[in-house]
Amino acid sequence: SHNRYQALNVGTSGLVLNNATQDTQSLLAGKIGANLNFTGQPAELIIHEVVGTMASNLQGLLEVVGQKAAVFITNPNGITCQGCGFINTPAVTLSTGKPVFDKAGALAALEVKKGAITLGEKGLDATAQDSVDILSRTTQLNGKLQAKNLTLTQGANQIDVKRGILVPMAEDGDTPWEAMETGSLGGMSANKIRLVSTEPGKAVNLTHLTATQGDISLTADGKVTLGDVQAKTDITVNGKDIDMAKQSHMQAGQSLILTTGTLRGQGEIRAGNDVTVKTSYLSLYGGKLKAGNQVLLQAEKSLTVRDTDISGHDMTLISRGGDISVSSGGDNSTAAGTRALSTISAVNTLRILSEQGISLSDTLINRAKNIFLAGNRWVDTNPHLAADENIELHAGAGINLKGLSLTAGKDITLTSGDSLDVGNVTAGNNLTLIARRNITETALSAAGATVVAPNSAALHSAGGQYTPVTSALIDLAFGHAPQLTLTIPDIAGGIPGIQLADKRAQIAVRNNLPVIQIAAPNSQG
């Protein structure tokens, strides 16, 4: 049923659409007769097209009497819903587009070139409908929009109503400042929410967005600013830029995926399963990020975390083209007067990988099972790094661990493309130090527990010298390190003594080989 109007408004008393083929009872108007325009068959789709120049104002209920039918209201001049609602219709579409029909006369598409749909403070309650579609150039939500399955499409598009395919169109009229705006009293609540904005470079500002039974999917060609967003299952956001407002909350019952050019987060991000962030520039400030399973933070350029707590079962931070910096700074004192640090907590494995450098200054890294840090330039870690099993640090430039402590229940491997300065390092099993140039260690002493390797210790320096800073005994006796391998061009300062459990020692020094005072043999020779 295609109906054309010069103007269409609904007052507070409501409006009845007669879709009855026989006398029937209306909730709004009482008993009404059959629609005499029908020839025995009611409409399945009722289209109201405004062809005049005035916007539509919907203030009351619109009732379909008789057989249920989907309702389309289209007005290129704009539509305002101020407490509107619908009765006896499974699907509602509000659009500023123009209907396009196929050769058989069926609705094929809507062409949206201009116009805004505005919800007033009284909002729209469409929870009685199976689906609600808002198709317009822009949308302003000053009240609450409630539905079961909610779809919003903003921008100049031709929209295939059967397949949901969008084809961008030439715009008509002034370019809007924003594609979608949520006012202080606005928001959306539905079982599932789909939002697409094709307006290039125009902002989408959303808060109080809730999917009570399903997921939220948001795609925008412009900047997206998010306040409180919650979904029973997944949250997927794809935008040119994404800003999370200060003290905002984004929570997904299952997985959360953010894909953007630049992400700036100042709020809390939580997911029952995985959190995945893929961006060019990533900045997290003063918030929290928590995943029940995996955390993946991937930046093509730079990755910066400041005054933020990140936790998950497995965690990977990747920067393909810039540095990774996790730090604390600014006014971040707690109520007790102590300084709050950025915290990284991975239950199983923590991986931090950078094409450039890695800085973890003023960062608390809670004990993980395995820790793997690799940077093509430098690696600057926090004063205390501990893992239940293994620690690996790889740097294309030097590694400076002076005054720092590393502790692993199993193996520790340190690889430097330049020099390697070692502080307090304790490995429960194997310890491997590899440097292209110099290796400097504070001491190798079981008593001092500075560098301890109960199983084996291997030091490899390709082009520099090995410098033991202290004169302490290198204690690699039985029960501590039965195997010792030194492959070093030069040893500076001499080594006062090495204790070995057996004769499985390999020492290769190309230049200056000092005299090593071997300890007295034990009872087994």
Q: How far is CA 39 from CA 34, 48, 89, in A?
A: 10, 20, 21
What does the block give as tokens for 390? 């293994």
Of the listed ranges 157-166, 234-243, 315-324, the one predicted with least confidence: 157-166
Helix (H, G, I), strand (E, B) or coil at 148: strand
More confident residue, 484 or 423: 423
What is the residue extent of each domain of the chain? 1-181
Q: Domain 1-181 - what CATH class?
A: mainly beta
CA–CA separation, 241 vs 256, rounded Å? 16
Beta bridge partners of 373: 352, 393
More confident residue, 441 or 361: 361
CA–CA separation, 110 vs 97, rounded Å? 5
Residue 433: band (very low, low, confident or very high) from pLDDT cuts 50, 70, 90? confident
Residue 8 has pLDDT above 50, yes or no: yes
Residue 220 has pLDDT above 70, yes or no: yes
CA–CA separation, 213 vs 193, rounded Å? 10
The model's pTM is 0.86
Which of 518, 476, 478, 481 is closest to 496 using CA atoms?
Answer: 518
Which of 279, 261, 265 is closest to 222 using CA atoms?
Answer: 261
Residue 480: band (very low, low, confident or very high) from pLDDT cuts 50, 70, 90? very low
Characterize the bridge pairing of strands 144-154 and 45-50. unpaired
Helix (H, G, I), strand (E, B) or coil at 440: strand
DSSP 111-130: EE-S-EEEE-TT-EEEEEEE
Residue 456: band (very low, low, confident or very high) from pLDDT cuts 50, 70, 90? very low
CA–CA separation, 284 vs 303, rounded Å? 9
Q: Output the pLDDT for position 381.
A: 79
pLDDT by residue (tens digit) across 297-345? 999 999 999 999 999 999 999 999 899 999 887 554 444 444 467 899 9
Q: What is the mean pLDDT of residues 184-200?
A: 93
Torsion from C-alpha of 219, 220, 225, 231, nearest 10 degrees: -10
Q: Output the pLDDT for position 446.
A: 26
Residue 245: band (very low, low, confident or very high) from pLDDT cuts 50, 70, 90? confident
pLDDT by residue (tens digit) across 488-521? 455 545 554 454 444 455 544 444 444 444 455 5
Residue 40: band (very low, low, confident or very high) from pLDDT cuts 50, 70, 90? confident
Q: What angle do CA 359, 276, 360 make, to 5 degrees?
A: 10
Q: Output the pLDDT for position 463.
A: 52
Q: What is the mean pLDDT of residues 470-481?
A: 36
Q: Output the pLDDT for position 219.
A: 95
